[in-house]
């Protein structure tokens, strides 16, 4: 026999096997008309012909791949004819002589659109990270054309992952990481749980093969014991359910290897201590109107046999999870003293949980395949037509987003960045570059101006606005979610502090010279004590900031260049251990707001945000100490007239280094440069810290809300005066958060009693 003949025989054999695979696919497409069957066959023929000379890395004919992808679509995602046709053709336009026009001529325009979308997403992304991200974005955005593009792409990726063994090691790693990074989260968001966990596991197998193998073998070696246990556990349940006449299916769901690993890591436990390695699932076939009562009846049967743990009962039937998941979960104690999770759900609930979105539509009344999909697509389109919604929002809208710990956002050029959930534009700025972070004054998110503290959402496109004069400040630390940004801010702050302290040192040196005081450690220690500073560094820092009154040096004696604290002028050290309340209840007394009164519990009222320099009064609450209000606070009139006996005269002790948050509203005429002018004043001229800023423009008018940290009233006045000078600014007012009112609940009680 010659080689040639051998090949002939093999090819014949291959043809038969290919046909068998195709028949398997047809069986998987459960509901199809004769017309639809014909179309699927046509797609198969076109694909076979187009790929006829191609083989996969494993050596098998290429056509097995599209057949397998189509089968995943039908069997595991519950997709219909159109998707099956597209899946069969998904690689033809990219890899063969078939053109998009051919596809349209043969299968219609809808199929063309989907294939077009699929062709735009390359199999393996380019080495260049930004191209990768750009493509990912395109992929997400194709949802707007047809969600089936994404679903078929996921099926494609799933099959490639299942057959990744035949790839070269470096390719394996790349594809696996990409799967973990891009595709598994996407499957998750679309509610395709089994696809998601399989992708995760397959990726894990290549990215962390050692651990994977270990857990896999641990699972294997414990399998017999587990199976015996399970058989024993479900036996009585099975009998009871059969006796009650239920049509049901019982499955054992073993936890995926990647989630076992996750659990081992988060709980810091060895494999043996992962108690929920598996769950028993009871799936009851029952009409929708009986679902709830049947599930609870089954629950009652289960708990007749096994004692449930009341804390571990989850009723996601009465209240489905945000992503649409419905199921009844309970954890019961087996006679062997082992906790076992039992999940009870209907067949419908199970399909939706396993297959995601597509399954939802299977249960709508209309039986015809395409109209079901049309409606689905129509709903998606409707959401997409809403210009307020980005592609990712749409997914959220469908409640498919489980709580994810990462968000995906984009640069103006479409480059993808991954940040922790809760990240703000500052995180993003520092993610781009430290300098960008350090000088960030705000950003445009999806073309709209937002403040530094704006929390990023999936799909946001961010353009950072910087100013050379901007500098990081302590408040920034509270605004960021990523470790990277936090660390960068800290190091910038330290550097800045050091530089400022140096200025302070120079100031002090000059002053000492002037007063003939020797610049020596002893004198510095005396000064620290005198001004009550924790360290020399802090002393220098405050000096530079102008927060230390050096004229008070005169209060000290200078003995041959050595400073002496004069007793008579020293700060009284005895603390006010007095019972303060009776004392300040005397109307003549004035509450001095300052450190000396640390023993009196007071806070600055949130309704009017008083700052030093404002005219203020104190209001004695029954259990919250004294609240300091501005005299012109909206609550003032009420408090002063009706509850005068609880009001205390108050004034500020002195200027403090403490800064206070003040919100201002600026109203004026819209002008391109106005935002820059305002932020420049804030950051450059007065060195005030801006906490948040937002601007809105409407028909030529603009309204800006700025929150700044200022030291006192004078400081604030300086700032507002500068604002007034900006061309276009018409009005500036203090503004406070609405809804904050003095809590008067306790007052009523007082009055009555
Ligand atoms: Mn493919």
Ligand 1 centroid distance, CA of 576 (Å): 79
Alpha helix (H) residue ranges in 253-368: 257-267, 291-305, 347-355, 357-362
Which residues, at least 6 apart from 477, have a Cβ–Cβ distance to it below 8 Å?
486, 489, 490, 493
Q: Are 487 and 427 in contact (CB under 8 A)?
A: no
- State residue 47's pLDDT score: 94
Catalytic residue from among 60, 95, 415, 670: 95
Q: What is the Cα–Cα distance from 1 to 442, expressed in whole angstroms?
A: 78
Q: Are 338 and 313 in contact (CB under 8 A)?
A: no
Ligand 1 centroid distance, CA of 118 (Å): 9
- State residue 68's pLDDT score: 96
Ligand 1 centroid distance, CA of 636 (Å): 71
Q: Are 173 and 207 in contact (CB under 8 A)?
A: yes
Instruction: Tabulate helix, strand, coil % of the chain (nearest 5).
Output: 55, 15, 30
- State residue 128's pLDDT score: 44
Beta bridge partners of 177: none
Q: Domains, the chain, ranges and CATH? A: 3-214 (1.10.3210.10), 215-363 (3.30.460.10), 492-564 (no CATH)
- State residue 528's pLDDT score: 84
Structure tokens at 12: 């014949």
Ligand 1 centroid distance, CA of 94 (Å): 10
- State residue 750's pLDDT score: 33
Q: What is the Cα–Cα distance from 31 to 370, expressed in whole angstroms?
A: 11
Structure tokens at 594: 């300052």
E strands, 421-542, are 440-445, 448-450, 462-466
- State residue 65's pLDDT score: 95
Q: What is the Cα–Cα distance from 402 to 189, expressed in whole angstroms?
A: 7
Sign of CA dihedral 494, 495, 499, 500: negative
- State residue 688's pLDDT score: 66
Residues with CB under 5 A from ligand 1 (ion): 91, 156
Which residues, at least 6 apart from 455, have a Cβ–Cβ distance to it below 8 Å?
422, 423, 424
Q: What is the Cα–Cα distance from 728 to 185, expressed in whole angstroms?
A: 48
Nearest to 207 by CA among 158, 171, 173: 173
Ligand 1 centroid distance, CA of 657 (Å): 64
Residue 710 belongs to what H/E stretch? strand 701-710
Ligand 1 centroid distance, CA of 381 (Å): 26
Catalytic residue from among 94, 145, 496, 528: 94
Q: Is 475 a catalytic residue?
A: no
Beta bridge partners of 665: 705, 733
Q: What is the Cα–Cα distance from 507 to 512, expressed in whole angstroms?
A: 9
Q: Is 577 a catalytic residue?
A: no
pLDDT < 50: residue spans in the chain = 1-6, 126-134, 143-144, 363-374, 376-377, 380-404, 567-588, 595-596, 598, 738-753
Cα dihedral 382→388→390→393 (10° resolution): -80
């Amino acid at each position: 026999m010659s080689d040639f003949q051998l090949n002939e025989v093999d090819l014949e054999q291959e043809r038969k096997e290919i046909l068998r695979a195709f028949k398997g696919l047809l069986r998987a497409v459960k509901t199809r008309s004769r017309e639809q069957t014909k179309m699927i066959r046509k797609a198969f023929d076109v694909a076979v012909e187009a790929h006829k000379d191609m083989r996969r890395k494993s050596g098998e004919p290429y056509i097995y791949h599209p057949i397998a992808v189509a089968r995943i679509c039908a069997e595991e995602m519950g997709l219909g004819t159109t998707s099956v046709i597209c899946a069969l053709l998904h690689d033809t336009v990219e890899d063969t002589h078939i053109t998009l026009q051919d596809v349209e001529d043969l299968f219609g325009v809808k199929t063309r659109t989907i294939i077009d979308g699929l062709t735009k997403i390359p199999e393996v992304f380019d080495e260049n990270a930004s191209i990768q991200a750009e493509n990912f974005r395109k992929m997400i955005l194709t949802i707007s054309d047809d969600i089936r593009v994404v679903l078929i792409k996921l099926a494609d990726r799933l099959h490639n992952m299942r057959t990744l063994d035949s790839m070269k090691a470096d390719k394996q790693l790349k594809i696996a990481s990409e799967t973990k990074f891009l595709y598994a989260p996407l499957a998750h968001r679309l509610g395709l749980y089994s696809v998601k966990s399989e992708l995760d596991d397959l990726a894990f197998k290549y990215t962390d093969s050692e651990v994977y193998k270990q857990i896999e073998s641990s699972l294997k070696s414990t399998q017999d014991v587990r199976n015996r246990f399970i058989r024993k556990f479900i036996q009585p349940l099975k009998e009871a359910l059969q006796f009650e006449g239920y049509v049901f299916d019982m499955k054992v769901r073993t936890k995926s290897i990647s989630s076992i690993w996750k659990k081992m890591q988060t709980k810091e436990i060895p494999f043996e201590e992962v108690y929920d390695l598996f769950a028993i699932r009871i799936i009851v076939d029952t009409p929708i109107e009986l679902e709830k009562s049947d599930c609870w009846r089954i629950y009652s049967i289960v708990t007749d046999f096994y004692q449930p743990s009341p804390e571990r009962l989850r009723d996601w039937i009465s209240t489905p999870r945000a992503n649409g998941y419905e199921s009844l979960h309970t954890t019961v104690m087996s006679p062997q003293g082992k906790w076992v999770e039992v999940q009870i759900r209907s067949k419908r609930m199970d399909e939706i949980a396993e297959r995601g979105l597509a399954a939802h539509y299977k249960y709508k009344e209309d039986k015809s395949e395409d109209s079901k999909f049309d409606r689905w697509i129509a709903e998606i389109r409707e959401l997409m037509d809403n210009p307020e919604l980005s592609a990712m929002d749409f997914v959220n809208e469908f409640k498919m987003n489980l709580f994810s710990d990462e968000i995906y956002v984009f640069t103006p050029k479409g480059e993808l960045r991954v940040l922790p959930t809760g990240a703000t534009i500052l995180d993003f700025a520092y993610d781009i570059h430290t300098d960008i972070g350090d000088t960030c004054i705000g950003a445009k998110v999806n073309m709209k101006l937002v403040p530094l503290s704006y929390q990023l959402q999936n799909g946001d496109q961010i353009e950072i606005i910087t100013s050379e004069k901007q500098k990081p400040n302590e408040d920034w630390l509270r605004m960021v979610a990523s470790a990277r940004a936090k660390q960068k801010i800290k190091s910038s702050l330290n550097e800045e502090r050091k530089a400022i302290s140096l200025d302070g040192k120079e100031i002090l040196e000059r002053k000492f010279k002037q007063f003939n005081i020797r610049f020596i450690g002893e004198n510095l220690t005396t000064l620290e004590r005198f001004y009550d500073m924790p360290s020399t560094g802090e002393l220098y820092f405050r000096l530079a900031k102008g927060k230390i009154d050096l004229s008070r040096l005169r209060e000290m004696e200078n003995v041959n260049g050595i400073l002496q604290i004069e007793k008579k002028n020293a700060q009284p050290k005895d603390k006010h251990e007095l019972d303060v309340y009776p004392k300040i209840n005397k109307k003549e007394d004035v509450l001095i707001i300052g450190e000396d009164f640390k023993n009196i519990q007071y806070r600055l009222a949130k309704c009017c945000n008083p700052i030093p320099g404002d005219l203020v009064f104190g209001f004695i609450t029954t259990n919250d100490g004294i609240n300091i209000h501005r005299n012109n606070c909206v609550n003032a009139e009420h408090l002063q007239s009706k509850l005068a006996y609880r009001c205390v005269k108050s004034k500020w002790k002195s200027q403090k280094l403490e800064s206070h948050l003040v919100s201002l509203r600026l109203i004026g005429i819209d002008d391109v440069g106005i935002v820059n002018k305002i932020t420049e004043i804030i950051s450059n001229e007065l060195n005030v810290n801006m906490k948040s800023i937002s601007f809105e423009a409407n028909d030529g008018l603009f309204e800006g809300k700025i929150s700044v940290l200022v030291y006192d009233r004078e400081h604030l006045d300086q700032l507002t005066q500068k604002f007034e000078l900006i061309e276009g600014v018409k009005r500036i007012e203090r503004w406070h958060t609405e809804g904050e009112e003095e809590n008067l609940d306790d007052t009523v009680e007082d009055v009555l009693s």
